[in-house]
A and B are shown apart, each in its own frame.
Chain A
């Protein structure tokens, strides 16, 4: 009973700083969690943007003369691309003028009406193309350029490279902050432990003199640390339950590439709360060591 009283003493003696410390720890742990999650979620996005691309092979307009052979020709081209660039995991798709028009009809009705009104003359100017999507190696792109039906090539990678770079930069900035916050947390824990340790130096000395055992000597400081950790873990819980969804919506708004990021699962929230509790436990243990070391110097 007196061990619990001793353990809860910091709350009685310096309620405000205890609460502020608890809130501060919760905020620190939560921010670190957000950055960690950001890094984890951006990873696959960057990888996808870097590796996957859609190469559009615009075809020479010769084929338009022989409209009747068009269908056959399209298969030929697709097969040739498949065979010659070794496109196992690639998606190769032929888009004819008619396909293009059909797509335009749904996507851009206004443009379609113009094209439709223009008749065959205008439509003859429309390109036909083959799209190759997936993880494409540079030498495969070179190969695509050499086909006799290729007029020009356009790669989506060039288009999204800046996005991938921006996300990657964001990840590194995040990691940089994470290291800083980790150092802040470590020094925070150390100082907290020292202060809690000083709280218990006198009583630890008495408990030792009167024959206290291993746990009796450490219980007050451990209880101090754990109670702070429990308080801080409640705050962390509140932060994640209350703001988790908002954060995700903000993140999703950052770029269309991020719209698939999910709301944190409850398991993640629990992990964050547990992390706060753990920080408290570590502080408690360290402070019990500090409280003891001042005594141990004597014998």
Chain B
């Protein structure tokens, strides 16, 4: 379902961040991407989330070759991805609930309004956001905003969740609440790719792990 072949990434005027990366994931897979700071985790996840394009190599998502896909195909790929970027990327001038609704509506989901409201309510409850429902995202703390980003990815029931250090700004309670939600989504068939440097979660929720080192991806 997800196929990276010989993928390299080089930012302008720099050494290669990713070097000949090969990766293959099936529907329902769960993969951790670990590696030190600056190892290229975010670069890899940005490629998976279609936020950036590779310098070399091919990426296939849900049967579409990214380089060859039309704007329409690219759009339908993005509609089934739940992306939690390291830099959050919420719309600051919208409320928490509006940001969640955006994800839901743009996803072209077939779920009814009532179901989606129930789902949003549940997610906000689990992530401690219920009291912030109508707060502008600009006025949230970093940790709260990160939880909104997680809820935004989960609310559309995506085919794949690409999470870039989603627990980075969380205390233990929310870290495990998040992991619980991720595992549940995974059991429902969602593919998960989580970049993290938190050894604790990798140890406690044991899944396939890939290590990024000097641009190479080694899947254990």
Contact = CB atoms under 8 A, between A and B. Distances in A.
B102 A298 contact: no
B42 to A, nearest CB: 14
A298 B91 CA distance: 19
Nearest to A299: B53
B128 to A, nearest CB: 23
Interface in B91-138: 91-94, 98, 101-103, 105-108
A296 to B, nearest CB: 10
Given A211-B76, A298-B51, A5 B94 contact: yes
B86 interface: no
B180 interface: no
A206 B79 CA distance: 12
A5 B89 contact: no
Interface bin, chain A:
20 to 34
Interface in A211-234: 211-213, 216
Contacts of A13: 93
A58 to B, nearest CB: 83
A212 B76 CA distance: 9
A202 interface: yes
Given A206-B91, A209-B83, A298-B51, 17 more contacts: A2-B94, A2-B102, A6-B94, A202-B92, A203-B91, A203-B93, A203-B94, A209-B89, A210-B78, A210-B107, A211-B76, A211-B77, A211-B81, A211-B107, A212-B106, A299-B50, A299-B52
B90 interface: yes
Contacts of A62: none
Contact of A211 (B75, B91, B94, B98): B75
5 contacts: A206-B89, A210-B103, A211-B77, A213-B75, A298-B52
Contacts of B53: 298-299
Interface of B: 49-53, 75-81, 83, 89-94, 98, 101-103, 105-108
Nearest to B83: A209
Contacts of A202: 89, 91-92
Nearest to B107: A211
A95 B109 CA distance: 92
A2 B49 contact: no
Q: Which of B75, B78, B79, B90 has the most chain A CB within a 10 Å cutoff?
A: B75
A100 B106 CA distance: 87
A216 to B, nearest CB: 7
A157 interface: no
Interface string A186-215: 000000000000000011011111111100
A206 B83 CA distance: 10
A6 B91 contact: yes
A13 B51 CA distance: 28
Contacts of A41: none
A263 B203 CA distance: 84
Given A206-B90, A207-B106, A209-B49, A2 B78 contact: no
B62 to A, nearest CB: 13
B64 to A, nearest CB: 13
Contacts of B106: 207, 210-212, 216
A206 B102 contact: yes
A1 interface: yes
A-B pairs with the 8 shortest C-beta distances? A211-B79, A211-B78, A210-B106, A2-B98, A299-B53, A203-B91, A211-B106, A212-B106
Contact of A205 (B49, B89, B93, B102): B89
Contacts of A206: 89-91, 102
